[in-house]
């Protein structure tokens, strides 16, 4: 049986056609009221509508039907990696999410502040979701702690969350979480799941002892737990599998980090507006042939529950779109990594609108506008997000024929 990546390695060929994958994070939505339009349908998007009319629509299933994806698996899918096969550990995602580099052999964990009673038993597993302004200085103090055998880096994420990365020789990530998932009991020690990880467990336990001593007089967060011990997943690079010279244009550390895990060059962006990101694409147009562009605001406004602001974030992308199409990519796809309906104020499992524009090769369908209903009836049908990339390659004539 030929694996999907075997097939891609065999068929991928290089040419000078450029592919742009424009991801509006959390693009998919829901009507705010019964019978109404979704965010994308409510948005005035004349440029996207023109691309929809010239191109073809469909909808993607990010991980599986009914599965609400986190940002990590959702993006891996769009990059062509089956998110159920290529698992990136929680600790690694948390670390790369705040821009902490995780090299092969480094061990990353997600840290949570908690509160402990006088007997060391957990009273609140999230330290009352301590404010970021209060938590960040605590993480800075923890970042200064050092223990023999490894270098440890700590970085604040948000509220009670921080990322921790240990670097040193012979470390092993096969470790159990210290969060007992309950209050009234003390945090668990780090336990090795197999003998080889014993030294690493000891190391983290010593760090935890030092950290707990450091926090002892902090009533708001006098304890911590560690979860999701993991290391660089050593994903095959997009260049080795798909024959691309890929570049990432993203403002948020999380998306830059995930892109780095698949071997993309992460470009500098001067500014945070869509036009700033498109300018970064223009600057690298000659040196790369695949551009992943990440727009964060659509997701953020969805998570805020702000329908109108999400509509405006979509319109802002449309307003700047000419500077992207002026580059004349062979293939331009516009989609989301998942849905974030303002009505649900969170990521969701709903299929994601997908627009494929490729003047030389696309088979147009009858769609005239870009929206959920049009995508559900689109000519590309409903398909797994991991099938996006092969279709982009095909429309850029970068895949050989399979079989004689």
Binders of its own copies among residues 40 to 59 (CB under 8 A) are 54, 59
Q: Nearer to its own copies by C-beta: 194 or 401?
A: 401
Binding residue (CB under 8 A) for its own copies from 32, 87, 167, 237: 87
Task: Name the strands in the sheet holding 290-295, side by side, starting at the edge strand that comes first in the sequence.
Answer: 265-266, 246-249, 290-295, 19-24, 331-335, 352-357, 56-61, 382-384
Q: Nearer to its own copies by C-beta: 90 or 125?
A: 90
Q: Please answer whether residues 264 and 238 qualify as being in contact, where contact means their C-beta atoms are separated by less than 8 angstroms.
A: yes
Q: Which residues contact 326 (CB under 8 A, 6 or more apart)?
A: none
Count interface residues toward its own copies (CB under 8 A). Answer: 72
71 binds its own copies (CB under 8 A): yes
Region binding its own copies by CB under 8 A among candidate stretches 43-51, 172-180, 270-278, 383-391 = 383-391
Q: Nearer to its own copies by C-beta: 174 or 277?
A: 174
88 binds its own copies (CB under 8 A): yes
Angle at 95 between CA 188 and CA 350, to 5 degrees: 95
Q: Please answer whether residues 267 and 283 qualify as being in contact, where contact means their C-beta atoms are separated by less than 8 angstroms.
A: yes
CB of 315 to its own copies, least distance (A): 21
Region binding its own copies by CB under 8 A among candidate stretches 17-25, 43-51, 141-149, 392-400 = 392-400
Region binding its own copies by CB under 8 A among candidate stretches 115-123, 141-149, 274-282, 381-389 = 381-389
Region binding its own copies by CB under 8 A among candidate stretches 31-39, 134-142, 270-278, 322-330 = 31-39
Radius of gyration of the chain (CA): 23
Q: Nearer to its own copies by C-beta: 217 or 234?
A: 234
356 binds its own copies (CB under 8 A): no
Per-residue x/- marks for its own copies, 296-315, CB under 8 A? Answer: --------------------
CB of 147 to its own copies, least distance (A): 26
Relative to beta strand 382-384, strand 56-61 is: parallel
Region binding its own copies by CB under 8 A among candidate stretches 25-33, 118-126, 179-187, 204-212 = 25-33
Stretch 98-127 residues interacting with its own copies (CB under 8 A): 110
Q: Please answer whether residues 352 and 341 qualify as being in contact, where contact means their C-beta atoms are separated by less than 8 angstroms.
A: no
* CA-based nearest residue to 120, from 218, 213, 187: 187
Stretch 327-346 residues interacting with its own copies (CB under 8 A): 341, 344, 346
373 binds its own copies (CB under 8 A): yes
372 binds its own copies (CB under 8 A): yes
241 binds its own copies (CB under 8 A): no
239 binds its own copies (CB under 8 A): no
Q: Nearer to its own copies by C-beta: 146 or 361?
A: 361
Q: Please answer whether residues 234 and 275 qualify as being in contact, where contact means their C-beta atoms are separated by less than 8 angstroms.
A: no
DSSP state, residue 242: H
Q: Please answer whether residues 235 and 74 qualify as being in contact, where contact means their C-beta atoms are separated by less than 8 angstroms.
A: no
316 binds its own copies (CB under 8 A): no
64 binds its own copies (CB under 8 A): yes
21 binds its own copies (CB under 8 A): no
> What DSSP assignment string belongs to 247-278?
EEE-SSHHHHHHHHHTTPEEPP-SSSSHHHHH
- Distance separating alpha carbons of residues 352 and 336, to the nearest angstrom: 6
364 binds its own copies (CB under 8 A): yes
Q: Please answer whether residues 290 and 21 qualify as being in contact, where contact means their C-beta atoms are separated by less than 8 angstroms.
A: yes
Across 294-326, b (16+ Cβ under 10 Å) vs e yields bbbbbbbbbbebbbebbbbbbbbbbbbbeebee
- Distance separating alpha carbons of residues 25 and 336, to the nearest angstrom: 5
Binding residue (CB under 8 A) for its own copies from 19, 280, 380, 385: 380
- Distance separating alpha carbons of residues 227 and 206, to the nearest angstrom: 16
Region binding its own copies by CB under 8 A among candidate stretches 98-106, 218-226, 270-278, 384-392 = 384-392
DSSP β-bridge partners for residue 164: 109, 154
CB of 54 to its own copies, least distance (A): 7
**Strand, coil or helix: what is 138?**
helix
Binding residue (CB under 8 A) for its own copies from 9, 70, 149, 180: 70
Binding residue (CB under 8 A) for its own copies from 39, 255, 347, 357: 347
């Amino acid at each position: 049986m030929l694996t999907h990546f075997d097939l891609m390695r065999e068929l991928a060929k290089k040419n000078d056609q450029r592919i742009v994958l424009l991801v509006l994070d959390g693009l998919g939505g829901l009507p705010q009221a019964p019978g109404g339009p979704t965010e994308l349908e409510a948005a005035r998007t004349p440029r996207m509508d023109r691309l929809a009319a010239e191109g073809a629509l469909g909808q993607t299933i990010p991980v599986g039907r009914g599965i609400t994806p986190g940002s990590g698996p959702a993006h891996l899918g769009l990059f062509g990696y089956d998110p159920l096969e290529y698992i990136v550990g929680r600790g690694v995602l948390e670390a790369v999410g705040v821009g902490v580099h995780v090299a092969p052999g480094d061990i990353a964990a997600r840290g949570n502040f908690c509160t402990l009673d006088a007997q060391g038993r957990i009273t609140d597993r999230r330290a009352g979701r301590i404010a970021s302004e209060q938590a960040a200085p605590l993480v800075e103090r923890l970042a200064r702690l050092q223990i023999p055998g490894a270098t440890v880096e700590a970085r604040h994420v948000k509220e009670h969350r921080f990322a921790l990365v240990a670097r040193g020789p012979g470390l092993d990530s096969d470790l159990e979480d210290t969060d007992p998932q309950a209050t009234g009991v003390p945090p668990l020690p780090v336990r090795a799941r197999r003998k080889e990880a014993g030294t690493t467990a000891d190391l983290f336990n010593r760090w935890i002892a030092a950290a707990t001593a450091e926090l002892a007089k902090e009533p708001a967060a006098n304890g911590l737990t560690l979860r999701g011990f993991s290391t660089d997943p050593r994903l095959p690079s997009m260049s080795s599998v798909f024959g691309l010279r890929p570049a990432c244009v993203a403002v948020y550390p999380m998306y830059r980090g995930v892109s780095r895990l698949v071997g993309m060059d992460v470009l500098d962006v001067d500014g945070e507006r869509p036009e700033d990101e498109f300018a970064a694409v223009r600057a690298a147009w000659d040196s790369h042939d695949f551009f992943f562009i990440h727009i964060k605001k659509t997701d953020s406004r969805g998570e805020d529950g702000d329908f109108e602001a999400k509509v405006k974030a979509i319109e802002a992308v449309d307003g700047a779109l000419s500077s992207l199409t002026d580059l004349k990519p062979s293939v331009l796809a516009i989609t989301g990594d998942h849905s974030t309906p303002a009505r649900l104020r969170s990521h969701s499992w709903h299929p994601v609108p997908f627009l494929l524009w490729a003047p030389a090769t696309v088979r147009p369908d009858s769609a005239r506008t870009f929206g959920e209903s049009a995508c559900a009836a689109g000519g590309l049908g409903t398909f797994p997000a991991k099938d996006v990339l092969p279709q982009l390659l095909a429309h850029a004539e970068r895949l050989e024929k399979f079989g004689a």
